[in-house]
Amino acid sequence: MVTLSIANTITDLIQGDVKEHLPLERIPLQGDVIGLGTTSSLDNGELTFLHNGMEPRTRLYKCSAGDGSIRPLQSGDGSAHFPYVCFSGDATALRHPVDAATLEAVEGLPLQQRIGAAIAALTRAGHLAEAPIYGLRLAVEWHSLVITVASKLCMGQRRRNAAPQDPATAAQGLYGSLQHYRLAAVDPGDAEDPVRFLGNSLHWDCCGFWDTQAETGRVTVPVADAPLHLHGCSRDLRHGGHLHHEHPGSRLRRLESLAIYPLQEIRMLGADLAIERLRFADGVVHFQVTNRGGLDVSDLGVAVVIDDIYSSHQYLRLPWLAAGETLPFALPLAVPTGRHQLLVVVDPERDVLEPRASQANNAATLSIAV
């Protein structure tokens, strides 16, 4: 069974959960790995997984928000941790190339409808297993293509409490405000056009997903009729990003090839923050902060409060807490004589969007007598 791992979700990213990270070292790239992602808010861009079938490993490229260029991504280069990324194991055995006759049967449709029609036809015929999410690899030639590249405004600068409560509404407004780039045979030459012209690189290799429950926002924007999410690079390796295939400026010339991977098993990755071993002795509060989850966390806050009086609380800031890591603390605390209630909370601002079931251990309380 090939597992699809999802570190955060598109919905989480839209709502501002950018302090969780999956380091590049934890993504296995041996074989044909289907995936896409968003690089950190410190080094903006999109993540594309490319595999040409002749290599034993999948290559990762970072697509830059500043100019739509791409570069190979390597561990240790400053951008190798991701607040959102999804990736499969080696999916070579699941690869189902779609024959030319099936592709010709859906000629004339936009790209999303073509891929949906191919999946539906193959599953009805019993040639493709039904799955909650299908991985995709495709080669495409365009008359013109509009791409977008994620930037800080869709992560750190647009906080979840300032965005619309409906993630679908937030997604539509958010993606519309990203930097757009145009690929076409010639420059339209419109000085008033906000879509920046990049060049005539019109042959693209793409990787992405078709989510049968798109409204959940697992690997696509959380809109029911938007199941297709694709990242890609031009074949000359000059440009890359999120394919805005539904944009009026994107005009498909030819779907050259399509391979579909039915992904049955899904694993959700996230941080699970906990306060453990809380005690008070000789004027010092002792506790430890543990990350029981599968994602690292950055810029993490811890509040120490006596008798629910937040105006005089103590506050700590942790720059990084890796998955599985535990950090012990011993904090001197001036506590008046008498009985008191001590509260220690990790991530009191709820910057990390943990599932409700795992939030209870974010705080610990202790009755003390001085």
pLDDT digit string, tens, across residues 260-293:
999 999 999 999 999 999 999 999 999 999 999 9
User: What's the confidence (pLDDT) of residue 162?
Assistant: 47
Residue 338 shares a structural domain with residue 193 = no
User: What's the confidence (pLDDT) of residue 235?
Assistant: 97
Residue 306 shares a structural domain with residue 239 = no
Query: What secondary structure letter does DSSP report for 99?
Result: P
Note down the domain range covering 349: 270-369
Q: Which of 252, 268, 284 is the last residue of a domain?
A: 268
Contact of 363 with 344, CB cutoff 8 Å: yes
Q: And the tokens for 142?
A: 């365009």
Contact of 209 with 136, CB cutoff 8 Å: yes
Residue 50 shares a structural domain with residue 181 = yes
User: What's the confidence (pLDDT) of residue 156?
Assistant: 46
CA torsion through residues 255, 112, 237, 4, sign: negative
Report pTM: 0.91
Q: Looking at the DSSP assignment, which residues form a beta bridge with residue 81?
A: 23
Residue 223 shares a structural domain with residue 288 = no
User: What's the confidence (pLDDT) of residue 192?
Assistant: 83
Residue 32 shares a structural domain with residue 120 = yes
User: What's the confidence (pLDDT) of residue 167?
Assistant: 61
Residue 246 shares a structural domain with residue 306 = no
Residue 246 shares a structural domain with residue 291 = no
Residue 142 shares a structural domain with residue 97 = yes
Among left, alpha and beta (phi > 0; psi -120 to 50; other), residue 45 is left
Residues of the chain with pLDDT under 70: 41-43, 75-79, 151-177
Residue 12 contacts by C-beta under 8 Å, 6 or more apart in sequence?
Answer: 84, 217, 353
Nearest to 327 by CA among 355, 312, 341, 346: 346
pLDDT digits (tens, 9 = 90+) for 312-333: 899 999 999 999 999 999 999 9
CATH number at residue 321: 2.60.40.10
DSSP 3-state of 273: strand
Residue 199 shares a structural domain with residue 115 = yes
CATH number at residue 10: 3.30.1330.80
